[in-house]
A and B are shown apart, each in its own frame.
Chain A
C-alpha cells in the first residue's frame, strides 16, 4: 500500500485536513493498522515539498489542525497515472513456500506433508476471510476477496506442486 499515493487519491476527491485524511485512510485502508499521525504529516510535508499538494490556512476540520491540503495538477496527474497503470505482475518464484518445498526435497524431508500442512493453514485463513465477507460490509468483503483470490492461487500452486513432487525431487536432487 503506497501511503503517499493513497493520501493523494483521497485529496483528489476534495481538499482535506491531516486529521480527516488519517481517519479516512484508517477506515478504508488501515485494516487494523492505523496510520500514525507522524507519518501522515511527514508524508503531506513531502508531497507539499514536491509540489503535489499545497497548504491553505483555513478553519479547522474535526481535528485540531488548521492546515488544509489541496492537490495540485502535478499531484492529480500522478494519481491518474497510478490508477491507470497496472501493478507489476510478480512471478512470486522466490516465496517462502517455494523455498521450503525445494529445500525439503533437497534434504529428503516430507515435502508432501509440508504442503498438506500449508493447505490446511491456507484453508483456515480462507474460512476466516469468508466469515468476514459474510458478516462485514462491502469494503470488508472487497478486501477479503482480494485475500481469498491470492490464497486460492497459492492453493492451486500447492496442488500442482504436490502432484509434481516426484519429478521436482529428481530435478533438485540429480
Chain B
C-alpha cells in the first residue's frame, strides 16, 4: 500500500487556543479512515489541515510526495479543486443553481466545457438514485437528496481524496446510512481515498479503520509514520 496523504506532528492554534498539538496520521491510497473524537478534540481542524484549507503552525502535510503545508494558496486551491473532493455536514449547495449545475460546478471551475461537465454530472444522478431531480434547486430537495447531490459534487471530478466532514450529521439514521452506503460504494468503485470526520460510531463503522483525536493528538500510534 502506498500512503495517499499524511500529517506529521501538525500543530495548529486558533489564536491562543491550541487545536492540534502534534497530530500525525498516514492514510493509504484507497483507504477509508474515520477520524473520531469528542467535540473540540481537533478532528475537523485535522481534516482542514490535511485538505490544505488550513495551514499548520508547524509540522508537515504531505500529498503525493509534495508538502501541502508549504504550498502557495493558489497551489493549494488548485489541489483542492482538481484532486480533492469535499462533502460537508450541510450540503452547502449553491441555491441559485440547479442540482445538475451544482454537481457540475467543480468541473466548470477546473475548465471543463459546460456540456461535458453537465454530461458527467448527469451520470452521477443515476448512480446515486437522483434521477429526475436534475433541474430542481436545492431548496426543493429533502435533506437526504441534498446530501446525495453534495456527494455527487464531491466525487464528480474523480478525486484522489474525498474529505467528508460529518456528512450525515444533519440526516436521520436511515437516510444517513443510505448516504454512507452510497459514499463507500462510489469511493471504492473509483479507488478514492476517504477521510471521514464523524463523532457517530455507526458512521465510522463504514470506514476501514478509525483514529481517535483527543486533545489535539491522534491516538493511533501503530499507524503513524516516523
| Measured CA separation A155–B201 after assembly (Å) | 8
Q: Is the CB of A163 within 8 A of B38?
A: yes
As a 0/1 sequence over residues 191 to 226 of chain B, the CB contacts with chain A under 8 angstroms (1 = contact) are 000000000011011111010100000010000000
Query: A110 to chain B: closest CB distance in Å?
Result: 13
Q: How far is the CA of A85 from the CA of B204 in the complex (A)?
A: 34
Residues of A in contact with B, size category: 10 to 19
- Inter-chain CA distance A119–B38, complex, in Å, is 14
| Contact A116–B181 (Cβ < 8 Å) | no
Chain A binding surface, main DSSP class: helix
Per DSSP, are chain B's interface residues mostly helix, strand or loop, or mixed?
mixed
Cβ of A152 and Cβ of B201 under 8 Å apart? Answer: yes
Would you give the shortest CB distance from A92 to chain B, in whole angstroms? 17
Determine whether A65 belongs to the interface, using a CB cutoff of 8 Å to chain B. Answer: no
Given A116-B212, A116-B219, the answer on whether A130 and B205 have CB atoms closer than 8 Å is: yes
Instruction: Identify which of A116, A120, A148 contacts B202 (C-beta below 8 A).
Output: A148
In the complex, A24 has a CB within 8 A of chain B: no
In the bound complex, how far is the Cα of B202 from the Cα of A122, in angstroms?
A: 11
The residues of B with any CB-CB pair to A shorter than 8 Å are: 38, 177, 181, 184, 201-202, 204-208, 210, 212, 219
Chain A residues in the interface with B (C-beta under 8 A): 116, 119-120, 122-123, 126-127, 129-130, 133-134, 148, 151-152, 155, 159, 163
